[in-house]
Amino acid sequence: MKPDKIGDADFANYFCTYGYLYHQKDMLEDQQRMTAYHDAVRLNPALFRGKTVLDVGTGSGILAIWAAQCGARKVYAVEATYMATHAKKLVEANGLGDVVTIIQSTVEEVELPEQVDVIISEWMGYFLLRESMFDSVIVARDRWLKPGGAMFPSHATMSIAPIRTGVNSQKHAEYEDSCRGWDEFVDDTKDHYGVDMSALTETFDAEQREFFLNTSAWVDIHPSQVLGKACVICDWDLHKVTLEDIKNLDVPFELRIHETGASGPSEVGAFAGWFDVSFRGSEANPCENVVDLTTAPDANGATHWGQQAFYLSPGISAADGAHLEGRLEMQRKKENQRLYDVRLTWRQGDGEKINESVGERRNVWHIE
């Protein structure tokens, strides 16, 4: 795709999803998400009463409505998609048309009559950064938040952990099946239609490898699958983080495998990644009641974000107590700034029970 096409394709592909009520309903039915934002607002009335608020990407308008119900003087709710029309209807039906102003615009292009005391936004994507909406929130903060104003949420972290899973072997089997299918196809095409397709075998292999082995997946991991304490790889204060900080990541991690399976050493079948956010207010305007929202593995089931699994093929056979030391790099894809490549590089550290030759491994996954 030519670079100058990216902006428009982005509009078509990204924003259009958010124009469907069905999709909004999915998010509005995520009780952990809803309860956290609702509590963050209603348990901290001092930060909203008589204040001005900006809601970035308001969607159906629910965060703006809560802010208004909590006594905000004025709420500016910005939404790029046609969903803005529905949000307006909802605001009026809830009797808040005089407090909440819905503006159909990107937040980068919006003009507000004043700066605000609070910016609230539900901007998080898979593994926090996917969708790159974080950028828009930072841009909004730099333009529209008053000095001392509070970001909702105020903090965000990204974590990874080693997990047990059989899916990595399954993915590898599917990849091999697909390659065998291609080989049969090459034979058939030669026999029946007189064309030798084998010149494309390598290309097909690469394409399938990317699809089956180098694409991360949405998962709902049970805590019992987690084989070691999670490592927090990023920890950001939303009042201070810059566009530069989140543009491309290159961060170290260290993991210890703690759980040995019944029959021999545990196998790490994947790394899992997730995020947490919390609502603490700003230094000048701290929350009376801090609220946290985690998307970590949970026995009661995942939020709609789930976790992202980065499958390993083969897995890492690591003894109890083994160390993994490495680096996570995360780069935006050239052809779509809202998607990312995640590169993990690791080696077994200097723990006592290393049962693999010490060597560096690395793998790259696409978050789709």
Active site amino acids: 122, 131
Using CA atoms, how far apart are residues 325 and 328, in angstroms rounded to an integer? 10
Sole residue written with tokens 């490898």: 209
Using CA atoms, how far apart are residues 151 and 141, in angstroms rounded to an integer? 8
Applying CB under 8 A, among 3, 199, 240, 358 the residue interacting with its own copies is 199
Using CA atoms, how far apart are residues 41 and 90, in angstroms rounded to an integer? 19
28 binds its own copies (CB under 8 A): yes
Applying CB under 8 A, among 22, 191, 262, 299 the residue interacting with its own copies is 22
Least gap, CB of 66 to its own copies (angstroms) = 7
Applying CB under 8 A, among 3, 113, 147, 194 the residue interacting with its own copies is 194
Applying CB under 8 A, among 113, 147, 191, 192 the residue interacting with its own copies is 192
Shortest CA distance to 270 belongs to which of 346, 163, 171? Answer: 163
Interacting residues with its own copies between 30 and 69 (CB under 8 A): 34, 38, 60, 62, 65-66, 69
**Nearer Cβ to its own copies (38/143):** 38
Output the DSSP codes for 51-106: -EEEEET-TTSHHHHHHHHTT-SEEEEEESSTHHHHHHHHHHHTT-TTTEEEEES-
User: Which tokens belong to 270?
Assistant: 């994947």
Interacting residues with its own copies between 1 and 20 (CB under 8 A): 1, 5, 8-9, 11-13, 16, 20
**Nearer Cβ to its own copies (198/260):** 198
Interacting residues with its own copies between 72 and 131 (CB under 8 A): 86, 89-90, 92-94
How far, in Å, are 95, 156, 189, 276, 339 from residue 294 at the CA level?
32, 10, 52, 4, 22
Least gap, CB of 59 to its own copies (angstroms) = 12
How far, in Å, are 76, 97, 152, 177 from residue 65 at the CA level?
10, 10, 15, 52
Applying CB under 8 A, among 111, 191, 193, 299 the residue interacting with its own copies is 193
Backbone angles phi, psi at 338, to 5 degrees: -90, -10
Are the beta carbons of 301 and 307 closer than 8 angstroms?
Answer: no
The three-class DSSP label of residue 11 is helix
Interacting residues with its own copies between 207 and 246 (CB under 8 A): 207-208, 211
Least gap, CB of 221 to its own copies (angstroms) = 27
Least gap, CB of 262 to its own copies (angstroms) = 40
* Binding site residues, its own copies, CB under 8 A: 1, 5, 8-9, 11-13, 16, 20-22, 25, 28-29, 34, 38, 60, 62, 65-66, 69, 86, 89-90, 92-94, 182, 185, 189, 192-200, 203-204, 207-208, 211
